[in-house]
Structure 1
Amino acid sequence: MLTVSADIETETVVMAVHGNWDRSLGAEAHRTLKKCMSEHPATLIIDLQGMYDPHAASLPAWLAARRVGQAMNPPVRVLVCASTDTVLVDRLRRIGAPRYLPVCLTVDQARADSYGSRRSSSRRRLHLPGEVEAASEARALVTELCAQWQMPTLLHRSRLVVSELVANAALHARTPMTVLVSRRSAGIHLVVADGDPRLPQPPAPRATPAPLRLPEVLPPSSADGHGLQLVDAAATVWGALPTPEGKMVWATLHPWARRR
């Protein structure tokens, strides 16, 4: 009933809702919106063209998504795609919502409308070959940006996470990849996109969580891509989303230890 896809070039996530809006679909939409916001895109497009909502009961969910996006640092722009002859769009117009929650006819129109909102000043992109050795270039970029953004406390964790993400992409996808490093207020956001559509499986939870102890220098084993345990331990939050070309695996790191 819901599908999600991402575009690393524009930092856009599209969440498409299908079927009749009811309590079950509403609960699933709430969970999916939370995951989409965790990725902290520049733009979230909510595609409602395949949804049937004759009483505009879904309206509070989309207004809440806009409020959450606006409160984030930097803000996430939220747009809605829906037919102009629906009750939902009519209700949005009556309360003046299009002034702050734009309504577009198609996803392509929404992408074009949001194109100028990309956060180029606080992000860097790196294109790498599908080789494990490419992880050293990603670590070098993270080192440079942590110094530029004055984030020394995130240096070692960020280097470890980006190294593991690149190594996993090289070993399992074996395609060229794109690394995107963005600033997130006091934190840092890492994305590695490759050409393999298979999403990674999260590591099994440990029976007794161990205290987080990360090495000052990356051990040799951290570059072998053996799993995502290190990412799970070091990142504040992480996940994966499908893209038109394959997938992207992302991780956000904050200077505090609290996990979400």
Structure 2
Amino acid sequence: MLTVSADIETETVVMAVHGNWDRCLGAEAHRILNKCMSEHPGTLIIDLQGMYDPHAASLTAWLTARRVGQAMDPPVQVLVCVSTDTVLADRLRRLGAPRFMPVCVSVDQAHADATGPPSPADRHRLLLPPQIEAAAEARALITDVCTAWEMPTLLHRGRLVVSEMVANAALHARTPMTVLISRRSSGIHVVVADGDPRLPRPPAPRATPAPLPLPDEMPSEPSSGRGLQLVDAAATLWGALPTREGKMVWATLYPWARRR
């Protein structure tokens, strides 16, 4: 009914909706939209070409997604792909698209219309081999980024998160990986992409959250067996999305506490 894929180079997420629009599909679309927005991509493309909605009942969902994206810092571009001969496309035109919602006839056009990823000053990219020792380079990148962006309160948590994410990729995916660090308002967004399509399983809920090591207790090597538990404890938000080459695991860190 819904498929999601991400492109780390353009920081774009594509959400494709298939089937007849009804209450069940609407609830699932709302859940997936929330997940996509949590990842805070640069662009969200909503592909509705495979969806049947004869009464344009889904209109409010896409307008809400657009409004939520515009309110984020930095804003998320939200574009819709819809067949031109549908009631939904007609309703969007009457509302004054693209002022309310940019409408494209294909995903390729949506990619072309998007403004692209953040400026190079707001993102840093690192290619790493599938080795646990590569986590040291990722930690050094976080140190450089937090210093350049004047975010010292995120240094310890950021180093911990990226270290565990890189170690997880090295242990389980065993493919070369890409680390991408981007600015998100007062926070940082960390992505580790690899060539293994298997998405990680969330750690089991714990009665007591996993304790974070203090800065002076930070291990020189990633911990063994606690990777996702530590990421879950240290990140404000985190998750995973499929990509064309495999998957990406992402984490966003802000100075404030974890969102619930």
In structure 2, what is the Cα distance between the partners aligned to 1:226 and 1:170?
14
- Counterpart residue type for residue 29 of structure 2: A
- Matched pairs, number: 258
The answer on whether the counterparts of 1:168 and 1:226 sit within 8 Å (CA) in structure 2 is: no
In structure 2, what is the Cα distance between the partners aligned to 1:171 and 1:200?
12
In structure 2, what is the Cα distance between the partners aligned to 1:222 and 1:126?
18
In structure 1, what is the Cα distance between the partners aligned to 2:65 and 2:12?
15
Is residue 116 of structure 2 the alignment partner of residue 117 of structure 1? yes
Give the TM-score taking structure 1 as reference length.
0.96
Summarize the Cα distance change of 1:221–1:141 in structure 2 as closer, same or farther, 3 Å threshold.
Answer: closer
The answer on whether the counterparts of 2:63 and 2:100 sit within 8 Å (CA) in structure 1 is: no
In structure 2, what is the Cα distance between the partners aligned to 1:46 and 1:159?
33
In structure 2, what is the Cα distance between the partners aligned to 1:203 and 1:90?
45
Instruction: Please give the residue correspondences for 1:128-143 in structure 2 after superposition, counting only pairs within 5 Å.
Output: 128-143=128-143
SS in 1 for 2:98: helix
In structure 2, what is the Cα distance between the partners aligned to 1:106 and 1:90?
16
Q: 1:177-225 deviations in whole A, cap 9, x for unaligned?
A: 0000011111111000000000000000012446x54320422563446
**Residue aligning to 1:47:** 47
**Residue aligning to 1:90:** 90
SS in 1 for 2:222: helix
The answer on whether the counterparts of 2:123 and 2:182 sit within 8 Å (CA) in structure 1 is: yes
> Unaligned stretches of 5+ in structure 1?
none
The answer on whether the counterparts of 1:168 and 1:225 sit within 8 Å (CA) in structure 2 is: no
In structure 1, what is the Cα distance between the partners aligned to 2:52 and 2:230?
43
The answer on whether the counterparts of 1:128 and 1:176 sit within 8 Å (CA) in structure 2 is: yes
- Counterpart residue type for residue 16 of structure 1: A
SS in 2 for 1:13: strand
SS in 1 for 2:47: strand
Give the TM-score taking structure 2 as reference length.
0.96
Task: Note the aligned Cα RMSD (angstroms).
Answer: 1.3
The answer on whether the counterparts of 2:16 and 2:46 sit within 8 Å (CA) in structure 1 is: yes
The answer on whether the counterparts of 2:79 and 2:103 sit within 8 Å (CA) in structure 1 is: yes
SS in 1 for 2:180: strand
**Residue aligning to 1:14:** 14
In structure 1, what is the Cα distance between the partners aligned to 2:229 and 2:255?
19
**Deviation of residue 76 (structure 1)?**
0.2
Q: 1:12-40 deviations in whole A, cap 9, x for unaligned?
A: 00000000000110011001000000000
